Structure 1
Amino acid sequence: MADPVIRLRDAQLTLQGNAGPVKILRGISLEVGRGETVGLVGPSGSGKSSLLMLMGGLERASGGQVHALGQDLTALDEDALARFRLGNMGVVFQSFHLIPTMTALENVATPLELAGRADAFDRAAAELERVGLGGRLDHYPGQLSGGEQQRVALARAAAPRPAILLADEPTGNLDGANGQAIMDLLFGLHRDHGATLILVTHDPALAERCDRVIRLDDGRIAGEPVSESASGAVT
Structure 2
Amino acid sequence: MPDPVIALKDVTLSLRGNAGMVEILHGITLDVAKGETLGLIGPSGSGKSSLLMVMGGLENASSGSVTALGEDLTAMDEDQLARFRRDHMGVVFQSFNLIPTMTALENVATPLELAGHRDAFDRAHAELAAMGLAHRADHYPAQMSGGEQQRVALARAAAPRPHLLLADEPTGNLDGANGDAIMDMLFGLRDRHGATLVLVTHSSALAHRCDRVIRLTDGRIDTTHADARAAE
TM-score of the alignment, normalized to the shorter chain, above 0.5: yes
Counterpart code for 1:117: H
1:54 aligns to what?
A: 54
Query: SS in structure 2 opposite 1:8?
Result: strand
Pairing 1:166-177 to 2, within 5 Å after superposition: 166-177=166-177
Secondary structure of the residue aligned to 2:136 is coil
User: Residue 230 of structure 1 aligns with which residue?
Assistant: none
Aligned to 1:148, the other structure's residue is in SS state helix
Q: Which moved more, 1:200-209 or 1:86-95?
A: 200-209
Measure the CA separation in 2 of the matches of 1:81 and 1:192.
26
Structure 2 residue runs without a partner (length 5+): none
Shift in Å at residue 2 of structure 1?
2.3
The question of whether the paired residues in 2 share the 8 Å contact of 1:104 and 1:152 is answered with yes
Verify the 8 A CA contact 1:211 1:226 in the aligned structure 2: no
Distance in 1 separating the partners of 2:38 and 2:184? 15
* Partner residue in 2 for 1:163: 163
Instruction: Report the CA distance between 1:225 and its aligned residue.
Output: 3.2
Provide the aligned length of Structure 1 versus Structure 2. 227
Which residue in the other structure is 1:206 paired with? 206
Tell me the SS of whatever aligns to 1:82.
helix
C-alpha separation between the residues in 2 aligned to 1:73 and 1:17? 24
* Secondary structure of the structure 2 residue equivalent to 1:59: coil
Structure 2 length-normalised TM: 0.96
Tell whether 2:77 aligns with 1:77.
yes
Identity %: 75
Q: Give the root-mean-square deviation of aligned CA atoms.
A: 1.0
**Residues 111-190 of structure 1 aligned to structure 2 (within 5 Å):** 111-190=111-190
Distance 2:111 2:177 in 1: 29
Does residue 33 in structure 1 map to residue 33 in structure 2? Answer: yes
Q: How far apart are the structure 1 equivalents of 2:160 and 2:84?
A: 12
Q: Is the contact made by 1:50 and 1:59 (CA closer than 8 Å) also made in structure 2?
A: yes
Q: Report the alpha carbon displacement of residue 204 of structure 1 after superposing the two structures with TM.
A: 1.2
Kindly state the Cα deviation for residue 226 of structure 1 after the two structures are TM-superposed. Answer: 4.1
List runs of 5+ in structure 1 lacking aligned partners: 228-235
